[in-house]
Amino acid sequence: MPLVSSLMLPLNNAKEQFWNLWLRILNNNLVKSPANRKKTAIPIAVVLASIYFVYRKLILPPPQLHHIPRAGFFQYVTSLFKGRPYDEILKEITDHGLYTAFGSSGWTVYVTRPESAKKLLLKTDLFPKAIMSKAKKETIAGKFLMGPNIIFLPHGPQWKGQRSILNPAFHRSMPIRLFGELAQKLFVEIDKKTDSPIDAFDTMTRWTLDAIGIAGFDFDFNAIQEKDSVWVVRYEKITNASVNPVFMLFPFLDSPYLRFLFPRRARIHHELDLFLDKMQEIITHKRAVLANSNGETTVNKVTNEKDLLTLMLEAAEEESGNKMSDEEIKSNLCGFFIAGHDTTAIALSYAMYNLATHPEVQKKAREEVIKVLGDKPMDVLPTIEQIKEMPYIQMIIKETLRRNTVAQNIVTRAVPEDTDLDGCVIPKGTRVTMDMMGLHRNPKIWKNPDEFDPERFAPGGEAEMAAKKNGMAWMPFSNGARMCIGVNFSLNEQRVFLPMLLRKYELSLPDNSPHKEKPVISGIGLQKPVNLQINFKRRY
């Protein structure tokens, strides 16, 4: 019998569900050796007892939220640990209005209608960014992503100062040539394996990691050619640990005082410290290079394009009286991994899946690409002018981001006073967020929302009508003042990669693929495809 089970006493049904959930969690995270079990028996018992008494009142939402439909605590949390696709959970807990669910921020109200989403995103005085709890600052996700950056800072002078520097930096960052050259580099690796299916998500993860590393701060992870290199493995460990459901739902377990209970977790913290030290080293070097450049521009020697860090530092110099500390720059660079790596890798994986499962769409898209780039048996790097001449590719990207929503929700807002939303009173202190998948799959907005149909985004099509009628019906990058600053960076990655991919390969699913009916997905926060194998047939 596992050690944790031997600590249990008979409980009523509700308590039993709670304890059984924790049994699974702790048994999966503790070191298995008998010696360690014996040493940690008493601390585990104390932790379990503390958890129960702290959280027993949170099994149901606060009384002031009882009037809003909800996902049961155990229904929702257990689904997360089982890795159930979020779209399945969503259908069980909402009629596409407001609903509440227990998440990493506690009980939160989720919005799935465009009218409510518009108010939530545009009224920053009514719905300011929620302040991150002290417990979260000690977690892997907190240390990596939730620092003083424009994603998590509340609306105020510090956020506005950063935005004034980052806006021009991102507008100037157009590494189109770099994206094309990295695509060529990836094709060399794909060509070595075209006799068997290839994991699309793993492939895109490595490609986008090299893209954000070089374009972001001139650091080459070399993930395309060396998937098991030290920095690639380190980064993967950090990102995987940041969405561990145990520590997302109960962040206090990640504190330095309890971390000894989870040795593997402590090792990931060390890996993260090494990663952040490397980021600091790069920032220090960039500042020194700029200080000694005598006004000369510093660009990538291969692509002749400036990296984002250089543009940020230059923009800070141009902003009179508005500087960014190393800590702010480092925090924002970590935040850019969300826009330039994880989300883009997932989006491209889903785009490849949709092309593979809709041969008529793939054929039409390839014809458009060939019309613009030609059909000579050689790689062609599209220019920024040429990617604007491919509207059908753009429609595919938009429909993929709608149908296969990458991010589950936006960073939570906090309600400073009682506020009406969707005809419902949201009490003061409540946390509110937008459920992107709920919005993008809302049948009151979209016809046959579960189907992939790029024609929705044709001129005068369904998406255009929905925007006129409902306002914010399509928002994969959020909207308003807090809209994702990396939107153009991500979209340009996709606009360059997909045309080059379609010229080079024909895509299809293996006959035994479990993704035939719909993509098999999993994940918390970001919805990732699971073992998405795709056939790549060379055209030249």
Q: Supply 41's token pair.
A: 């028996």
Cβ distance 309 to 332 under 8 Å?
no
For residues 140 and 223, what is the distance between their CA atoms, to the nearest angstrom?
Answer: 22
Largest Cα separation within the chain, whole Å, is: 74
Cβ distance 217 to 285 under 8 Å?
no
Number of helical (H) and strand (E) elements in the chain, helices listed first: 22, 11
What is the DSSP track for 391-436? HHHHHHHHHHHHHT-SBSBPPPEE-SS-EEETTEEE-TT-EEEEBH
For residues 341 and 490, what is the distance between their CA atoms, to the nearest angstrom?
Answer: 8
Whole-number CA gyration radius for the chain: 24
Give the pairing type, strands 505-508 and 431-434.
unpaired
Give the pairing type, strands 419-421 and 424-426.
antiparallel
For residues 120 and 176, what is the distance between their CA atoms, to the nearest angstrom?
Answer: 34
What are the Cα distances from residue 482, in Å, to 129, 149, 151, 407, 475? 9, 12, 8, 15, 12
DSSP SS3 for 99: strand
Q: Supply 378's token pair.
A: 């050689």
Distance in Å from the first CA to the final CA of the chain: 59
CB count in 10 Å sphere of residue 97:
18
For residues 396 and 384, what is the distance between their CA atoms, to the nearest angstrom?
Answer: 18
Angle at 128 between CA 126 and CA 130, to 5 degrees: 135
What lies within 8 Å, CB to CB, of 486 at 6+ separation is: 170, 336, 338, 339, 340
484 is in an annotated binding site: yes
DSSP SS3 for 511: coil
DSSP SS3 for 249: helix
For residues 445 and 200, what is the distance between their CA atoms, to the nearest angstrom?
Answer: 31
Sequence ranges of the binding site:
484
Binding residues for heme: 484
